[in-house]
Amino acid sequence: MNSALPTVLIVPGLRDHVAQHWQTLLAAQWPRARSVAPMGRDNLALPARMDALDDGVAQIAGPVLLVAHSGGCVLVAHWARRTVLAQHVAGALLATPPTFDRPLPAAYPQLEALDAAGWLPVPRERLPFPSLVAASRNDALGDFDEVCQLACEWGSAIEDLGNVGHLNPGSGFGPWPLANTLIQRLMP
């Protein structure tokens, strides 16, 4: 792997573009950051999202540091199992992954829709790159103990964020300064 500093690649979850989301704000702070375009909840197709992540990584010369949120974390786990491009990943920050194998709140896609779109079962194999799961103790989309178990199965370090909800604007987060510290921790 190239010894250059990694390019940060933002991997959104199941949302549309949100100007005040911490990932959007983070992308503006990092000089070489790029983003995988959000596809929203109306396009749940996992294969299309994996192709978009493939394209994002392939367009970066040198190592990549993935910064995923929510469903983007599960996307990264699926993607890492099927692509040779994972060898270019220097690390991954996986913030508040959901527990897709149990029902989500009513406003979110349900198990049948996630299964039909290819998200289930959630991969539980060790990721082929260093990773850190940032877990919330009161996330309506991800049970803390289950997220910690998933992190262990992925071979990820765990950062206990305390009570931060789903770490999104609905939980009171636009800027998330800790993201910079966690990214620095993953830098080679």
Beta strands in 51-154 (DSSP E): 64-69, 89-95, 131-135
* pTM of the complete model beyond 0.85: yes
Per-residue confidence band for 121, with pLDDT thresholds at 50, 70 and 90: very high
* pLDDT surpasses 60 at 2: no
Residue carrying the six token digits 């993607």: 79
Cα three-residue angle 23-124-87, rounded to 5 degrees:
65
* pLDDT surpasses 90 at 77: yes
The residues spanned by each domain of the chain are 7-186
Average pLDDT, the chain: 93
State the average pLDDT over residues 115-134: 97
- Structural class in CATH, domain 7-186: alpha beta
Looking at residue 3, what is its pLDDT?
A: 53
State the average pLDDT over residues 123-127: 97
